[in-house]
A = this chain, B = another copy of it.
Amino acid sequence: MPSPKNDTFLRALLRQPTPYTPVWIMRQAGRYLPEYNQTRKDAGRFLDLCRNPHLATEVTLQPLARYPLDAAILFSDILTIPDAMGLGLYFSDGEGPRFRRPLREEWEIRNLDVVDPYAHLRYVMDAVSQIRKALANEVPLIGFAGSPYTLACYMIEGRGGTEFHEIKRMLYARPDLLHKILEVNAQSVIAYLNAQIEAGAQTVMIFDTWGGNLSDAAFREFSLAYVERVCDGLKRSNDGQTVPRIVFTKGGGQWLEALAESGADALGIDWSTNLGRARERVGESVALQGNLDPAVLLTTPEIVQSEVKKVLASFGPGDGHVFNLGHGISRNTPPENVAALVDAVHAESPHYH
C-alpha cells in the first residue's frame, strides 16, 4: 500500500518537511454542513449513522468534497467502546450522549470485560475499509478513540459535561476501582485502535476530552499513565507505513512536557495555549496540532483569514505543525468560513516551510 498522494499531513505529524501546513478540522463531518444534516435526517438517529458503514463513509467524505482538506477522519463516536460494554448508549436531542446503565456498583466494575473489537465493533472496521476505498488514496484517514479516563468519565457519570462528582468520588475514595476500569478501557482502546489500523487507518488520535478536569497529580496517575499504556500497545506501522499517534488533552496546556513523553508523535493543542510557547516547551520531541479558537469561525471570511495568519505566525517557521481548531467546530459555523480557513492555511503557510 503506497503513501497517499497527499501525504503532507502524515509527514507533518512525523515532523518531516512539507511544502505547506496541512489542515483538517475536528468534527469536520458535522452539523454545520447542510448535506450532513440531510443524511442524518434520512438515517434517523446519530447512532444509526455511526453503525452503517455506507452512511459513515458518505458523511466522512462530505467535507472533503467541499474543501481541499489534507486528511479525512472516520465518522464515529468516542463512546462506541462503552456502548459495546453494554452500558446502553443513547443520544437525547440537544443533550449529548447518555448511558442508561452507568457504572456505580463494585460488582459491575469487577465484571467489566475488555471489548473485542472484531466481535462487537466490526461495523467500525467495515467503515474504515470502505472509507479507505472511497478515498482512493488521495488523503490519509484518521482513526480515533477516547482516552481511558475520558471514557471512564462517561461510563461512571452516565453523561458528559457534569461536575464529575461521581468519578472524582471514586478517584479519591476508591482509586482501586477506577484503576480497574481504566485498565479495562486501556486494553479495549489498544485492541480497538489496532483493529482500525489493520482496517486501514493511517494515523490514530486519542481524545482526552476530560483529562483537564483533574488535579495535576490525578492527571498523571489516572489519565496520562493510561494514555502512555495505550501508546505502548499500538502498532507502530502497517503495510510498511509508520502510523503516527496524536494525543489531545483538552485543557492540558500545563502538561505538554509530560504529554510529549507519552509516546505521542503529535499533541493536539487547545486555543488557550500559546502555540509558539508550546513549541518551545516540547522542543523537537513532537509535532503540534491546533489551535484556532473555533469561535473565530462564527465571524467573517476576512476575520478568519486574519486569525489563521496569527496562528501560523505563532507556530513560526519550520515543519511539524498541523493546522486545526483548538476544539470541535461549532454547528453554527457558516460553511463559507471553513472554506476561508482551509484556503488561508494553504495560501499563507508555504512562507513558513
Residue from the list B165, B251, B293 in contact with A218, Cβ < 8 A = B293
1/0 per residue, CB under 8 A from B, across A250-273: the answer is 010110000000000000000111
Count chain B CB atoms within 10 A of each CB in A218, A254, A273, A291 and give the residue with the most.
Answer: A254
In the complex formed, the residue of B with least CB distance to A220 is B274
Check: A332 CB closer than 8 A to any chain B CB: yes
Question: By the criterion CB–CB under 8 Å, are B303 and A173 in contact?
Answer: yes
A59 to chain B, nearest CB (A): 23
Asked if A168 and B295 make an inter-chain contact with CB atoms under 8 angstroms apart, the answer reads yes
The answer to whether B330 touches A163, judged by C-beta atoms less than 8 angstroms apart, is yes
**A contacts with B, residue count (CB < 8 A):** 37
> Of the 9-residue stretches A41-49, A121-129, A190-198, A208-216, which lies at the interface with chain B?
A208-216
Q: Measured between C-beta atoms, what is the minimum distance from A20 to chain B in Å?
A: 23
User: Is A172 part of the contact surface with B, judged by Cβ < 8 Å?
Assistant: yes
Give the CA-CA distance A270 to B300 in the complex, in Å.
35
Known contacts A165-B332, A173-B303, A300-B173; A273 and B254 CB within 8 A of each other: yes
CB pairs A–B below 8 angstroms (26 shown): A163-B295, A164-B295, A165-B295, A165-B330, A165-B332, A168-B295, A168-B296, A169-B295, A169-B299, A171-B295, A172-B295, A172-B296, A172-B307, A173-B300, A213-B272, A215-B271, A215-B272, A215-B291, A215-B293, A216-B274, A216-B277, A217-B274, A218-B293, A219-B272, A251-B251, A254-B254
